[in-house]
Chains A and B, each alone.
Chain A
Amino acid sequence: EVQLVQSGAEVKKPGESLKISCKGSGYSFTSYWIGWVRQMPGKGLEWMGIIYPGDSDTRYSPSFQGQVTISADKSISTAYLQWSSLKASDTAMYYCARPPKSWGQGTLVTVSS
């Protein structure tokens, strides 16, 4: 069974850095793309970007290029989404997904002073 398990909720201050994770199991982690999706409070789903862990080929949605970094460590079957300087507007639920069917449970990121 394919499973994506995400790291727990985070509360951060503006300007802080953050890296959240998504661990895949039940399949060959290096053979499938994994993406990240943002959902701001009360809003819709936004595709952020995607990585192929086999060779770390990464593609970003134009809206998120330069705002976040997506990476993966294939030795531990884990993908990451990171910010170098968080803003209040980064407050959202973040999902990882192995398109089209498998999703993580979501990581709530709250950025507040």
Chain B
Amino acid sequence: DIQMTQSPSSLSASVGDRVTITCQASQDISNYLNWYQQKPGKAPKLLIYDASNLETGVPSRFSGSGSGTDFTFTISSLQPEDIATYYCQQYDNLPPLFTFGPGTKVDIK
């Protein structure tokens, strides 16, 4: 089974700061990686798909990069509404298998 790790597990940053989260897969997953945002009491929301593609309607301050085993998620200028937990998720299509990373909780300093 593919294992996903994320770091850091939590972070605190100021409004306007650049925030970076890393996600690592235990084996090569090409670009089969999504990033989700989850706010308390809400379902996860897709932000980035296929490692670097911004989902429609998602602000451009969110971005993703990487391929193979190492991936990065960036918020270019942290806003108060970005307080949430962020998860990476790897997937296979045939058969469909999914694994989430453990999550990164983002707070405002």
Contacts and interface: CB of A to CB of B under 8 A. Distances in A.
Interface of A: 33, 35, 37, 44-47, 50, 59, 61-62, 95, 97, 99-101, 103-106
Given A45-B100, A100-B49, A62 B34 contact: no
B58 to A, nearest CB: 11
Interface in B31-73: 34, 36, 38, 43-46, 49, 55
A18 B95 CA distance: 27
Which one of A44, A45, A105, A106 has the greatest number of beta carbons of chain B within 10 Å?
A45
Interface residues of B, number: 23
A105 B42 CA distance: 7
Contacts of A37: 44, 100
Interface of B: 1, 34, 36, 38, 43-46, 49, 55, 85, 87, 89, 91, 95-103
A97 B89 CA distance: 13
